[in-house]
Amino acid sequence: MSANSVALAYLGAAILFILALKGLSSPVSARRGNVFGMVGMAIAVLTTLTITHNVTYILLAIAAGGVIGAVVARRIQMTAMPELVAAMHSLVGLAAVLIAMSAFNNPVAYGIALPGEALHFSNRIELFIGTFVGAITFTGSIIAFGKLSGKLGSKPLHFGGQHWVNLLLGVVMIGFGIAFCITPSWTPFLIMTLIALLLGVLLIMPIGGADMPVVVSMLNSYSGWAAAGIGFTLNNNMLIIAGSLVGSSGAILSYIMCKAMNRAFFNVILGGFGGGEGAAADTGGVQKTYRSGSAEDAAFMMGNADSVIIVPGYGLAVARAQHAINEMSKMLTEKGVKVRYAIHPVAGRMPGHMNVLLAEAEVPYEQVVEMDEINNEFADTDVVLVIGANDVVNPAAKTDPHSPIFGMPILEAHKARTILVVKRSMAAGYAGLDNDLFYMDKTMMVFGDARKVVDEIIKAIT
């Protein structure tokens, strides 16, 4: 292909990527957005194959990666999507590091230097930025994967003087990066890379479970910027555009997540609140009383209500109860009950987690309502069913100035006339905090696996 044809093909792919992002902004157009993204990526890959050498090796790598991806996609459960996303981010970061090392080792092959010439100063800066961002993304995403999958636990891990250690490592890393830019050699490049890998671990380990949705979107942004940095080095406009789109959208999403949690971005990065999932609720030594009931009681209350709002959480995903809850909603709707789903921006373990689950169960889009739109309607709602959620409905965010989540916007389920909470036990949620909602006089706890409880509710409604 001629240079003009390549540029035109890359431009078309870039436009499709932009349309993909636009489509993914709404559940209604998400499927179309995915199609745009896949077509754009296919065009970009095919165009790259026409201008590269050793096509056989590349095709073998694509085939191997495609097989692995297909196997993982078929086996992965929806509950494991957050850690899968984190794992994919780590691969993007690793790819950026390996490409940077390869480009530095043989810049002539990459067309960024002439035979016998050293790398241009601007290329060294690009390699430096792409490498350290990619390295931090790689190890940081691995730690995020461990936390989200439960292999490392959600509790934040702190040590004395950790912020000063991180600051010192950051300064030393930049110092070696500058040294590499001034005098390109492997020693400062490798030291800088190793420090960046260590920083990725140290930056994510202190972050608690409640802040993990922000971490996921932040690492998404990092992976994009790493790709864009390498794109500048390789003079690949497609990589620059795609990386910039991912980086900027991830940054915007991180901002939205932080705003939804009333958290400053740097406070999250410097170590946020969070505790072990399933920890016993801390009641401050005071024995609190709560009211419990059966699935039949819940079915009677919802079946005789005029309006019901369902608040889904991670427990719904763990129990794989999204299809059952949709069936229950249909039955209530047939009885004349107005049913809606209230979605908190950070419900679950990643941005949009609950939206994806409900879309998988084919819940009507018009029933799924975001927090800002539905909060004013809780006070006029007969019954709220909180299923698998905890921290996103905790009234302490509004009433307790000493609570770690004070000021965080929540779904105001406590304002409803009757509250039903489906949980396995009275254990605390992902943030490790007790929830006063469970002890209100108008709240009824229904203990058990979310799927089994919903199935029992369905039988009782029938």
Least confident of 23-37, 249-263, 378-392: 249-263
Pairing of strands 307-312, 418-423: unpaired
Q: What's the pLDDT score for residue 268?
A: 65
Residue that is written with structure tokens 């490049």 in the block: 189
Give the pLDDT band of residue 273 (cuts 50, 70, 90): very low
Q: Which residue has the higher pLDDT, 294 or 360?
A: 294
Pick from 139-148, 262-271, 383-392, 405-414: least confident: 262-271
- Return the sign of the alpha-carbon dihedral for residues 236, 239, 242, 245: negative
**How far are the Cα atoms of 18, 62, 215 from residue 24, in angstroms, in the given order?**
10, 25, 20
pLDDT above 70 covers a percentage of the chain that reads 91
pLDDT above 90 covers what percent of the chain?
Answer: 40
What the chain holds in terms of domains, given with CATH numbers, is 1-75 (no CATH), 79-269 (no CATH), 295-461 (3.40.50.1220)
Question: Which band of pLDDT confidence, cut at 50, 70 and 90, is reported for residue 42?
Answer: very high
pLDDT digits (tens, 9 = 90+) for 86-102: 888 899 899 999 999 99
Nearest residue to 454 via CA among 316, 283, 254: 316
d(CA 215, CA 265): 10
- Residue 422: which residues within 8 A CB-CB, separation 6 or more? 298, 315, 385, 386, 387, 388, 446, 447, 448, 450, 453, 454
Quick check: 411 and 393 in contact, CB under 8 A? yes
Q: Output DSSP code: residue 118.
A: P
Q: List Cβ neighbours of 53 (8 Å cut-off, separation of 6 or more).
A: none
Confidence at 278, pLDDT banded by 50, 70, 90: very low
Distances (CA, A) of 355 to 213, 358, 359, 381, 416: 14, 5, 6, 22, 23
**What's the first-to-final CA gap in the chain, in angstroms?**
65
Q: What is the mean pLDDT of residues 48-67?
A: 86
Structure tokens at 261: 């949690």
d(CA 352, CA 361): 15
Please check the confidence at residue 286 and state whether its pLDDT lies above 70. Answer: no
Tell me the HSE value of 415 on the side-chain side, using a 13 A CA sphere. Answer: 12
Top-confidence residue, 318 or 78: 318
- Higher pLDDT: 212 or 384? It is 384
Give the confidence band of 274 by pLDDT, cuts at 50, 70, 90. very low
| Token representation of residue 398 | 């509004």
- Please tell me the predicted confidence (pLDDT) of residue 275: 46
Residues 217, 198: Cα–Cα separation, whole Å: 20
pLDDT band at 108 (very low <50, low <70, confident <90, very high): confident
More confident residue, 259 or 181: 181
Per-residue pLDDT, 280: 44
Q: What is the 3-state secondary structure (H, E, C) of 395-440?
A: CHHHHCCCCCCCCCCCCCHHHCCEEEEEECCCCCCCCCCCCHHHHC
The structure tokens listed for 245 are 């789109």
Question: Looking at this protein, which amino acid is placed at residue 50?
Answer: T
Give dist(CA 71, CA 57) in Å, integer: 21
Task: Give catalytic residue positions.
Answer: 391
What pLDDT was estimated at residue 430?
59
